[in-house]
Amino acid sequence: MYKIMIVEDDISLSKNMSDGLIKWGFETYIARDFGNISAEFADNKPNLIIMDVNLPQYDGFYWCGRIRELSKIPIIFVSSRDTNMDIIMAVNTGADDYITKPFSMDILIAKINALLRRTYAYSDENIDYLECGGVILNLVDKALLYNEEKIELTKNEFKVILLLMKNRGKAISRERIMRALWEDDNFINDNTLTVSINRLRMKLKDMGLQDFIMTKKGFGYFVS
């Protein structure tokens, strides 16, 4: 689970952002000591920071620069300041992205996922396949094998089955699967996920795997 640190002095906005992030499966930490953001960062070890520019005592540019002395963690500015100079300052102090207020939570989530994916990309450098109950997922050619049968998978189908097989026996929420299906800032909605799951289940059924992907009602899916 990725932890997101929110550095925003508007209590209502920081709470709304936190609630939205938690809904998508993130852990959050809301900064409290605006005179020592660096220490809160070091103590909480987040995977990404969302930061306002206008903050008490020192502005977000200052804290971005201080954090850059400690870490290359992704930093997204979310601010009502929208001049070219503000954006240039953000880039020069080490920010990875800049969003102006008011903003869409969907866009913020998409940008967060894109940054997390680029920064903490899952790597299978020394693994060529995953095996689960006799089902083999080839990570090189992205194909599924069972009882000498082989099926080709689409990009989305591969990502879904990879996530489920990596977490065998553990139910994965629909929200987490949707995040895994995102590419850069493209938004994958609930209907897209349902279509991908149904198509994947049909392919598995044709191979004799009727109940390989199980449903946890009201939550998500798992393989046993």
Residues 206 and 150 in one domain: yes
Average pLDDT over residues 181-198: 77
The whole domain housing 17 covers 3-119
Residues 102 and 137 in one domain: no
Instruction: Provide the CB-side half-sphere exposure for 70 (13 A, CA).
Output: 14
pLDDT of residue 141: 81
pLDDT of residue 121: 67
Amino acid, single-letter form, for residue 71: S
CATH number of the domain within which 166 lies: 1.10.10.10
Average pLDDT over residues 100-112: 91
Residue 90 has pLDDT above 60, yes or no: yes
Residue 188 has pLDDT above 80, yes or no: no
> Does a structural domain hold residue 95?
yes
Residues 7 and 107 in one domain: yes
- In DSSP terms, which residues pair with 131 in a beta bridge? 136
Average pLDDT over residues 109-118: 90
Out of 119, 147, 178, pick the residue that ends a domain.
119
Contacts of the segment 101-105: beta carbons below 8 A, 24+ positions apart: 103/78, 105/17, 105/20
Out of 93, 119, 145, pick the residue that ends a domain.
119
- Model confidence pLDDT, tens digit, residues 52-71: 999 999 999 999 999 998 88
